[in-house]
Structure 1
Amino acid sequence: MLERAVLLLELFSPQHPRQTISELAAGSGLPIPTVFRICRELTRLGLLERGDDFRFQIGLRVWEIGTGAPRAHELRSVAMPFMEDLHDITRQNVQLVVRDHLEAVYLERLSSHDAVGLVGRMGGRLPLHASSGGLVLLAHADQDIYDAVLAAGPRAFTPHTITDEPTLRTLLAEIRRTGIVVARQYLNQGTLAIAAPIRRGPTVVAALSVVVPLDTDSTPLTTVLQTAGRAISRGLS
């Protein structure tokens, strides 16, 4: 029951924020009566909400529960002042990213209305190999995570996404050496993404990234981003 409920909740997205029982059944592969029973229970618990048109959407209680996650709450609290400073400087996208197995999860994003468009969203997930923050996290992950990423077959989001093993291995080694990654159109066309690690002691627990137009000079941003990453790391120690 719990696994099926999570499966249904995961079907909601910015592209499909409101769905009918039939749509949820088609997306999950579950029988309509089963979907109906689960949605009724999720609605009773406040995890789903049903509109007058009988379409369901994620309930506020999901957000309330999510904000209580210790890893996310502490990271966001410590990082937010530095993210706001970076946003004031760039007026673009500033992101806080953590790893969940083979995916980069976006805990927070600050954006301006005229910032460059992105594939990912706050609270969303992307493969580790494709985003700047994900690459930082992959560079500092265990070997079994790296092996699993390769076994899954890295997907190309743009013609510039790194998907071949030798180039990816070289890039990850460079990230570990320099403490920074500059990703040119790896995930979004026309963008430059820069990311630096955030540590708790010796362990990399998150990444801080900025995404700006492709023609932006990356040199001053790398210095500012690394300084912010180190400051957040001190706050987590």
Structure 2
Amino acid sequence: MLPAAPPGGASSYTSTAVSARVSVPPNDHVLLALPPTAASASVLRSLRSEGVSVSPVSDGIGVLDAVRTRDPALVVLDVDLPGPDQAAVLAALQAEAPNVPVIAVTPRERRIGLLGQLRGDRDDFLVRPFAVDELAARIRLRLRLGPAMENTVLRHGELVVDTEFGDVTVDGRPVALSPTEYALLMALLATPGEVVAPDRLSREVWSEPASPNLVQVYISYLRRKIGAERIRTVRGEGYVLEA
């Protein structure tokens, strides 16, 4: 059983503006199960402003009822939600909707206890405090991968991405990427060795027309972190992720 939540811990979200727009199909409805706080309301507004189909739930009983009636594509579940023990709610949710992925929100001190409950092929977790753009990136990635994802580790040469935890390593060393940089890397990694046009990267990463200059700027950021030689520019066509 997970330990009791610290007083006020569930309100520690960072309600910053979403910097990486969420690109999800319009029918992919997200159930946002967060405590009824001003910070939670800000997260809800930010996601909706980015075009995410999302509905709020503020207690554990409501989560299970909403899963039965709304058929969500994904559930964001805070382990400090009011109501029944959330370890039991999570277990019931996984049993009743086995194909629905869950992003569990947890304070850092409860992370270890939570990991044993998560399904490595479907679920994810996010440690509080977090920025809204980080949650947006996790939502986008989890919906893109789908519920039946089997291999959570992607490799391309010495570049390794653990999509379960969002970890990236290059030549065995860890690399810290922003949500936008991570989304850009995943877009390139979808077709490694092939040219990816800037307008395609624009659609997949920003979900709206982005200037070629903006794409180029983030390509340069990514090159600095994973190695300039790993992203080749094909003049007039786009970018290639090299091994």
Under a length normalisation based on structure 1, what TM-score does the superposition of the two structures give?
0.33
Higher helix proportion, which one?
1
Highest relative contact order (Cα 8 Å, sep 6+), 1 or 2? 2
- Rg bigger for which structure? 1
Under a length normalisation based on structure 2, what TM-score does the superposition of the two structures give?
0.32
